[in-house]
Amino acid sequence: MNIIEVSHLSKIYKNDSVETVALLDVSFGVKKGEFLAIMGASGSGKSTLMHILGALDLPTSGSYILDGEDVSKLSEDQLADIRNRKIGFVFQAYNLLPRTSALKNVMLPMAYSGVQLAGRVKKAEELLKIVGLSDRMYHTSNQLSGGQQQRVAIARALSMTPSIILADEPTGNLATTQRDEIIEIFQKLNRDGHTIVIITHEPDIAEHAKRIITLKDGKIDSDRVNGKKLKKLKLWN
Amino acid sequence: MELTELVKESLSTLALNKLRTGLATLGIIIGIGSVITLISLGQSGQKSVQNQIESLGSNLLTVEPGSASSGFVREGFGSGTTLTHADANALANSSEITTISTVSPELARRAQVVAGRNNENTQIIGVTPTYASVHKASIASGVFISQRDVDASTKNVVVGPDIVTNLFGEGSNPLGQTLRINGIAFNIVGVTESKGGTGFQNPDTYVYVPLTTAQSVLFGVNYLSTISVEAKNSNVMTEAENQIGYFLLARHKINDPTQADFSILSQSDILGAVSQVTSTFTSLLAGIAAISLLVGGIGIMNIMLVTVTERTREIGLRKALGAKRKTIITQFIVEAIILTAMGGILGMFFGLGASFIISKIINLPFTVSFSSILLAIGVSGATGIVFGWYPAQIAARMQPIEALRYE
């Protein structure tokens, strides 16, 4: 069974009397444990698709089923609940709470779902260890480098054990070495069975995924299995 | 998210920008502070007036004669001649009247008092020994007018402390000295303790002589100007008023109460009127002070709106991570309530301190009322909810996508 099932998805923005088609009749499925990159130039509709996949926005028509739940017709608070339980976000700008410790940042989604404090701390500590930040747990976000901040964001994305990890240009703000670190973490998580969807416009980031969907003018231009042997990265630890 | 956590989180957020938090709170501090100061001072003033009136004798009923009429010309109130010493004795000894404890027959007139070269026009009161207990007059030195003085119409006199100061000089001992009233020599046997004036009357300037002496020797009349009656306690005032009224009507052989040749006033009537004036005044002042509280509240709203705009990205992130509308609203309202409640508590201390200092300066009793503390906390909390509501709504309505993109 597919963890993501998108069929005939369209998104049309209406501004005054002008209609802008952002997505047109997009259909695809993602299996559990896949590592998918969604590519496209700016204006191709990849951001719109990311918003819909992230339950941040609703499609104009078509359906989106995430982990067995139809997301396309939910209320605002129901969407918030889906985002909380099923989606782990990683943003380009990290989006950590300012002047707040790494630990507290990782705990935030668990706080919204009502996990007890002790359970939250334990889980957050585990996750920070996984992303290699066990010695930086009490550093506030402004005391961390970009790569470290993004690793905190990945730990935060994992905190609710989501159905998918949705990363929007996760390396866009990072220098090359830190970029490789982040890619390595995603690959590791994927090997551990996590479903990962990366939205990017950089081909060399997409090359690390097992499957690449390319969007053009709101439609799927190509959907291929990445034939290239996965680029071997120096094991980060 | 639990409320206690929200409170903790809000506190640390507010601690990040101490200057702004302080300035936002200042408006509430001033608002609550001035409301509390004015209410507290108003209550102190009220209490002070009440104390003074009560010091003249609580549970006090005053029976005054009705106006005298000569032909068709009515004379001034209290000039009547219808009350006599016999009436007072009958009241005191009646077995029908169960609610009164002490009766004091009095005859008050103004007259010139002379001692050596000094003289003064003051209130002369003919009294019996019961006067002292009914009017809470206590003796600083010497003795009060005794029953023997009344029986024998002696020329002994008791004077108020201001009379001593004005006629004999401050601090002098007037006991045994001579005082002339209307040219008749009296021997000073006692001085009363100072009570202070009430604005209407000042017992410190009174001169007390035996009632019989006042009637027969000084003024040549056989009636009284007042019968003061002390009721057993404040709960039986109305009953006492009725009992005295019907007793005197029967004694004076009058059937129609509207034709009574006397009237009865109670201390509580006067107290009620004064209290009403002072409490109206207090509310008026508090109302004016409340305007500054309103201004403070608008300041809070302004700061909260700025905060919401500044934290647009954070709000977007929180929503993306699963914060529901209600959670966001609660977060911002909690923040506003913390701001105003801090202001309220600080303002309360500020107000109590200010009213303490002012009441010391203008010599009023300092009163702290529990209600003003409740008011401070309640009103400031409510201010937080009212003025935090709109900014919180704006925050909660933000769309996560736009909020995340906000620069």
Same domain? B96 vs B231: yes
Query: Shortest CB distance from A97 goes to which of B314, B327, B401?
Result: B314
**pLDDT tier, B57 (very low <50, low <70, confident <90, very high otherwise):** low
In a domain, B76, yes or no: no
Chain A residues whose beta carbon lies within 8 Å of the beta carbon of residue B404: 91, 95
For A67-163, where are the E strands, in sequence order?
69-70, 87-90
In a domain, B60, yes or no: no
Same domain? B177 vs B315: no
In a domain, B401, yes or no: yes
Q: What is the pLDDT of residue A15?
A: 84
**pLDDT tier, B199 (very low <50, low <70, confident <90, very high otherwise):** low
Report the alpha-carbon angle A118-B2-A68, nearest 5. 80
Q: What is the pLDDT of residue B35?
A: 87
Q: What is the pLDDT of residue A101?
A: 93
Q: CA of B5: which chain A residue's CA is closest?
A: A111
Q: Taking the CA atoms of B209, B215, B217 and B219 in sequence, report the sign of the dihedral they define.
A: positive
Q: What is the pLDDT of residue A235?
A: 46
> What are B112's two structure tokens?
């010139």
Partners of B111 in the β-ladder: B122
Q: B157 in the Ramachandran plot: left (φ > 0), alpha (ψ -120 to 50) or beta?
A: beta
Helix (H) or strand (E) holding B91: helix B85-93
Q: What is the pLDDT of residue A6?
A: 94
Enumerate domains of chain A plus CATH numbers.
Answer: 34-224 (3.40.50.300)
**Alpha carbon distances (Å) from B173 to A94, B146, B178, B246, B386:** 92, 21, 12, 47, 67
In a domain, B159, yes or no: yes
Helix (H) or strand (E) holding B394: helix B370-397
Query: Please, which residues have CB within 8 angstroms of residue B353's CB and are 6 or more apart in sequence?
Result: none
pTM: 0.71
Same domain? B254 vs B136: yes
CB contact under 8 A, A56 and B325: no
Closest CA of chain A from B11, distance in Å: 13
**pLDDT tier, B98 (very low <50, low <70, confident <90, very high otherwise):** confident
Round the average pLDDT of chain A to a whole number and report it. 91
End position of a domain, from candidates B219, B244, B260: B260
Q: CA of A83: which chain B residue's CA is closest?
A: B322
Q: Is the model's pLDDT at B198 over the cut of 70?
A: no
Same domain? B186 vs B111: yes
**pLDDT tier, B330 (very low <50, low <70, confident <90, very high otherwise):** very high
Residues B143-159: tens digit of each pLDDT? 999 999 999 999 999 99
CB contact under 8 A, A76 and B16: no
The ipTM estimated for the assembled molecules is: 0.91
Same domain? B126 vs B7: no
8 A C-beta contact, residue A108 and residue A97: yes
Query: What's the number of domains chain B is made of?
Result: 2
8 A C-beta contact, residue B368 and residue B40: yes
CB contact under 8 A, B400 and A95: no
The residue among A49 and B292 whose pLDDT is bigger is: A49
Q: How far apart are CA B203 and CA B214, in angstroms?
A: 18
Q: How far apart are CA A202 and CA A174, in angstroms?
A: 13
Residue positions counted in chain B: 407
CB contact under 8 A, A83 and B320: yes
Across residues B87-114, what is the average pLDDT?
Answer: 90
Q: How far apart are CA A145 and CA A132, in angstroms?
A: 13
Query: Shortest CB distance from A83 goes to which of B1, B321, B326?
Result: B321
Q: How far apart are CA A34 and CA A158, in angstroms?
A: 16
CB contact under 8 A, A80 and B319: yes
Q: How far apart are CA B325 and CA B394, in angstroms?
A: 10
> What are A150's two structure tokens?
């993004």
In a domain, B270, yes or no: no
In a domain, B78, yes or no: no
Same domain? B90 vs B43: no
CB contact under 8 A, B401 and A57: yes
Same domain? B98 vs B166: yes
- The DSSP symbol for B261 reads S
CB contact under 8 A, A113 and B322: yes
Same domain? B144 vs B252: yes
Q: CA of A156: which chain B residue's CA is closest?
A: B321
Query: Shortest CB distance from B322 goes to which of A91, A99, A109?
Result: A109
Closest CA of chain B from A218, distance in Å: 19
Q: What is the pLDDT of residue B68?
A: 46
Q: What is the pLDDT of residue A236?
A: 43
Chain B residues whose beta carbon lies within 8 Å of the beta carbon of residue A95: 313, 317, 320, 404
Chain B residues whose beta carbon lies within 8 Å of the beta carbon of residue A111: 1, 5
B120 — contact with chain A (CB < 8 Å)? no
**pLDDT tier, B71 (very low <50, low <70, confident <90, very high otherwise):** very low
Q: Is the model's pLDDT at B21 over the cut of 60?
A: yes
For B67-224, where are the E strands, in sequence order?
69-70, 73-74, 100-115, 118-127, 139-142, 156-159, 178-181, 184-192, 207-210
Q: What is the pLDDT of residue B171?
A: 80
Q: Is the model's pLDDT at B240 over the cut of 50?
A: yes
Q: Is the model's pLDDT at B315 over the cut of 60?
A: yes
CA B276 distance to own-chain centroid: 10
Chain B residues whose beta carbon lies within 8 Å of the beta carbon of residue A54: 320
Across residues B17-23, what is the average pLDDT?
Answer: 89
Closest CA of chain A from B316, distance in Å: 9
> What are A94's two structure tokens?
């990290």
> What are B301's two structure tokens?
């709203």
The residue among B314 and B80 whose pLDDT is bigger is: B314
In a domain, B334, yes or no: yes
Helix (H) or strand (E) holding A26: strand A18-31
Q: Taking the CA atoms of A95, A101, A103 and A108 in sequence, report the sign of the dihedral they define.
A: negative
Q: Which segments of chain A have a pLDDT < 50? A: 235-237
Same domain? B104 vs B217: yes
CB contact under 8 A, B322 and A89: no
Report the alpha-carbon angle B98-B102-B104, nearest 5. 130
CB contact under 8 A, B1 and A112: yes
**pLDDT tier, B70 (very low <50, low <70, confident <90, very high otherwise):** very low
8 A C-beta contact, residue B404 and residue B317: yes
Residues of chain B with pLDDT > 90: what percent?
Answer: 38
Q: What is the pLDDT of residue B233?
A: 83
Torsion of CA A187, A188, A193, A194, to 10 degrees: -60
CB contact under 8 A, A54 and B1: no
Same domain? B240 vs B374: no
B324 — contact with chain A (CB < 8 Å)? yes
Edge-to-edge strands, sheet with A18-31: A18-31, A2-15, A61-66, A69-70
Residues A9-38: tens digit of each pLDDT? 999 998 888 889 999 999 999 999 999 999
Nearest partner of B321 among A54, A189, A196, A137, judged by Cα: A54
CB contact under 8 A, A80 and B322: yes
CB contact under 8 A, A81 and B324: yes
Same domain? B121 vs B211: yes
**What is the residue type of B240?**
A
Environment class of A203 (CB within 10 Å of its CB; exposed 0-12, middle 13-18, buried 19+): exposed
Q: Is the model's pLDDT at B172 over the cut of 90?
A: no
In a domain, B195, yes or no: yes
Q: What is the pLDDT of residue B8?
A: 87
Residues of chain B with pLDDT > 70: what percent?
Answer: 95
Same domain? B237 vs B109: yes
Query: Shortest CB distance from B317 goes to which of A54, A95, A99?
Result: A95
The residue among B80 and B37 whose pLDDT is bigger is: B37
Residues B115-153: tens digit of each pLDDT? 888 888 999 999 999 999 888 888 999 999 999 999 999
Q: Is the model's pLDDT at B69 over the cut of 60?
A: no
Nearest partner of B185 among B116, B91, B107, judged by Cα: B116
Give the number of C-alpha atoms closer than 13 A to the C-alpha of residue B251, restricted to the C-beta side. Answer: 20
Backbone angles phi, psi at A140, to 5 degrees: -80, 165
- Residue B165's domain spans which residues? 83-260
CB contact under 8 A, A111 and B1: yes
Round the average pLDDT of chain B to a whole number and report it. 86
CB pairs under 8 A between A and B: 53
